[in-house]
A and B are shown apart, each in its own frame.
Chain A
């Protein structure tokens, strides 16, 4: 008899479960209203601003409601992969341009409608629109732009009696040596810092040096890692490590983009480092008054190059091509508002306001103008000046895997596990395989 009560209890539980399911699991409405969701990786302050913009949009567009969904930066791509193809997936997503080719291939980044395309070509720099254009149509609104430059510590330069930041690789090596301090056999201050354990942090600064030496990572779809102009940058790393000007144990980064590489720079134990503009806010938070010691210079030019050529990458917002057409339409409408001149202050878009609040460069021409005063801050201005010379990181199918293969071999060089020759020829082989496999 006891058995029966157990079974009965089980049945009640099952019913309760089913009941909760139908009541709790709502979601896609069919009626007049459209609910669109916006997936972003921004921090709480920016999410608040985005929610405010969404509320303003909802007021003037009754029938459309916008849900803002924030996930931690490190989990953005996995969330996109988990939910992207599902009917519950996000309607709009903020994505890194390296992910775009795959999203387009699988139909997750819808082509922009004609009016959006027109808006883009009228109000954004042509090279950025080009960057988000795949298979003949732009795939979203470019927003955040990041690029790399040489950051250095003016106080350490003064102590070492160096007046100017290095303009060439030879000067870089000499300056790095001067900035390196030893206490007995132990290096207490490194001249030039590199980053490890973080794909973009390893590959982008190195590629900035490659670009500034007249080299490139890819020629069309062919890897160029065995090109002497590329290998020269790897040789440069090996030389800096060998001379002690670069200390591998000072290079580690973690998933929160903090760690020894940051600690050493903000505490005056690293003289120079190549980093992107977005870390300005980290520098300010971590350095306080000492932030005034930081200065920015263009990437030093290599013997094969004609001038500094940094690496740039961008973020854009795409619309899910798997969403219902009416939803997609509502999504583009919201994006047009968010990126338009009426949603922000002083002719800026709301997007421009949000980005500059993080110290990040916006990309819409009007936003750059509206935030001119803020962007003339010496740190950001130095980056803005280099933007025209920057080369976008090649966004190809298999880009993440390619990037991590290069990272692995560069780290092998930094830690003395491979010579530059071995590293570059192995990377060439692996990247070629990755690209062939990905583009099949």
Chain B
């Protein structure tokens, strides 16, 4: 009886906790369904008076949205994969190896996160463009193929994996790559998945770097294409279109999340050393 009451209370708490995230999202959805005049109306309408899906079609005409979508998939997809690989490898070393200067190197890497990226934009642009990579997909991706956040996250999670598991594998004669791939990574899936999701969202929504390094609008990612619509004389006209475009842009990440979150299940009793 008591357990059911607890469950009910938890259900109610979850439902209540969903209100704050949902309301602005609801407002965004209805904004994409309103016309420019209704969007600017005071007081605003809580339900669109004349809902229209027109903005969702218009976004494909106003900017090269479909192409931008594919660009974003390419840029975010490749960068995310790379970040996963580099972060797991480096995080493993920082968590499980001992060598002179490890702490200094690790905290040095973490410290690079403290500087707002906008500060280093110009030197970075100078660096990448002098490598001949201006206006190329590679130029967009290269500086972000590894990042301190991912390494830090992986180190925190790998450090919690018992050393005994790794030692046991070593005694069985497994090589380092095999240990990383077969022993460490499977235990790390929730962390890997959360890193993958965060990295994907970061690259998907990254704005200032693609803006700086890309020139040809056929290579623009989605966010850059949408921002194009917010020039001073057009921002009223296109506000609903920007909302519609941003909603479409959010769909793939939410889908990826819904699929990937299956790894976030309650851990069944996991004892130290297996087999």
Decide if A and B touch, CB cutoff 8 A.
Answer: yes
Report yes or no: A282 in contact with B138, Cβ–Cβ below 8 A: no
Report yes or no: A287 in contact with B37, Cβ–Cβ below 8 A: yes
Chain B residues 202-255 with CB under 8 Å of chain A are 211-212, 215-217, 227-239
Given contacts A72-B228, A258-B239, A263-B42, contact A82 B233 (CB under 8 A): no
B70 interface hit (Cβ, 8 Å): no
Main secondary structure of the interface of B (DSSP, over half): helix
Chain A residues 44-74 with CB under 8 Å of chain B are 44-45, 67, 69-74
A136 interface hit (Cβ, 8 Å): no
Given contacts A82-B125, A256-B235, A258-B235, contact A25 B132 (CB under 8 A): yes
With A and B bound together, what is the CA distance between A287 and B235 in angstroms? 14
Chain A residues 80-100 with CB under 8 Å of chain B are 81-83, 86-88
A360 interface hit (Cβ, 8 Å): yes
Q: B63 — which chain A residues lie within 8 A by C-beta?
A: 44
Chain B residues 127-169 with CB under 8 Å of chain A are 129, 131-139, 142
Chain B residues 104-137 with CB under 8 Å of chain A are 121-122, 125-126, 129, 131-137
List the A residue with the shortest CB-CB distance to B214.
A69
Q: A258 — which chain B residues lie within 8 A by C-beta?
A: 40, 235-236, 239
Q: B178 — which chain A residues lie within 8 A by C-beta?
A: 2
Report yes or no: B138 in contact with A256, Cβ–Cβ below 8 A: no
Number of contact residues on A: which range applies? 35 or more
List the A residue with the shortest CB-CB distance to B138.
A20
Report yes or no: B229 in contact with A3, Cβ–Cβ below 8 A: no
With A and B bound together, what is the CA distance between A319 and B46 in angstroms? 49
Report yes or no: B134 in contact with A86, Cβ–Cβ below 8 A: yes
Report yes or no: A41 in contact with B231, Cβ–Cβ below 8 A: yes
Q: How far is the CB of A281 from chain B (nearest CB, A)?
A: 5
Q: How far is the CB of A189 from chain B (nearest CB, A)?
A: 11
A220 interface hit (Cβ, 8 Å): no
B100 interface hit (Cβ, 8 Å): no
A11 interface hit (Cβ, 8 Å): no
Among A67, A83, A278, which residue has its beta carbon within 8 angstroms of that of B232? Answer: A278
Q: B212 — which chain A residues lie within 8 A by C-beta?
A: 78-79, 82-83
Given contacts A24-B137, A282-B233, contact A82 B227 (CB under 8 A): no
With A and B bound together, what is the CA distance between A7 and B188 in angstroms? 24
Q: B41 — which chain A residues lie within 8 A by C-beta?
A: 267
A43 interface hit (Cβ, 8 Å): yes
A27 interface hit (Cβ, 8 Å): yes
Q: How far is the CB of A284 from chain B (nearest CB, A)?
A: 9
With A and B bound together, what is the CA distance between A139 and B237 in angstroms? 33
B67 interface hit (Cβ, 8 Å): no
B103 interface hit (Cβ, 8 Å): no
Chain A residues 251-270 with CB under 8 Å of chain B are 255-258, 262-264, 266-267, 269
Report yes or no: A43 in contact with B233, Cβ–Cβ below 8 A: yes
B25 interface hit (Cβ, 8 Å): no
Q: A285 — which chain B residues lie within 8 A by C-beta?
A: 36-37, 40, 236-237
Among B135, B138, B175, B232, which residue has its beta carbon within 8 angstroms of that of A88? Answer: B135
Q: B231 — which chain A residues lie within 8 A by C-beta?
A: 41-43, 72-73
Report yes or no: B122 in contact with A82, Cβ–Cβ below 8 A: yes
Given contacts A72-B228, A258-B239, A282-B233, contact A5 B139 (CB under 8 A): no
Q: A27 — which chain B residues lie within 8 A by C-beta?
A: 132, 134-135
With A and B bound together, what is the CA distance between A168 and B228 in angstroms? 41
Report yes or no: A286 in contact with B215, Cβ–Cβ below 8 A: no
Q: B122 — which chain A residues lie within 8 A by C-beta?
A: 81-82
Q: B53 — which chain A residues lie within 8 A by C-beta?
A: none
B19 interface hit (Cβ, 8 Å): no
Between B212, B230, B234, B239, the greatest number of chain A beta carbons within 10 A of the residue's beta carbon is seen for B234
Q: How far is the CB of A42 from chain B (nearest CB, A)?
A: 6
Among B136, B230, B237, which residue has its beta carbon within 8 angstroms of that of A73? Answer: B230
Report yes or no: B228 in contact with A44, Cβ–Cβ below 8 A: yes
A6 interface hit (Cβ, 8 Å): yes
Report yes or no: A25 in contact with B133, Cβ–Cβ below 8 A: yes
Q: A44 — which chain B residues lie within 8 A by C-beta?
A: 62-63, 228-229, 234
A163 interface hit (Cβ, 8 Å): no
Interface 1/0 per residue, A1-41 and B, CB below 8 Å: 11101100000000001001110110100000000010001
Chain B residues 26-58 with CB under 8 Å of chain A are 36-37, 39-42
B1 interface hit (Cβ, 8 Å): no
Report yes or no: B134 in contact with A69, Cβ–Cβ below 8 A: no
B177 interface hit (Cβ, 8 Å): yes
Which A residues have a C-beta under 8 Å from some C-beta of B? 1-3, 5-6, 17, 20-22, 24-25, 27, 37, 41-45, 67, 69-75, 78-79, 81-83, 86-88, 255-258, 262-264, 266-267, 269, 278-279, 281-282, 285-288, 358-360
User: What are the 3 A-B residue pairs with the smallest beta carbon separation, nearest first?
Assistant: A2-B175, A24-B136, A43-B234
Can you give 13 contacting A-B residue pairs, CB < 8 Å?
A2-B178, A25-B134, A27-B135, A43-B228, A69-B216, A72-B228, A258-B235, A258-B236, A263-B42, A281-B233, A282-B233, A286-B37, A286-B39
A2-B177, A278-B232, A285-B36 known; 18 other A-B pairs, CB under 8 Å? A1-B175, A20-B137, A20-B138, A24-B138, A25-B133, A43-B228, A44-B62, A44-B229, A69-B217, A75-B227, A82-B122, A88-B129, A88-B134, A258-B236, A267-B41, A269-B42, A278-B233, A281-B233
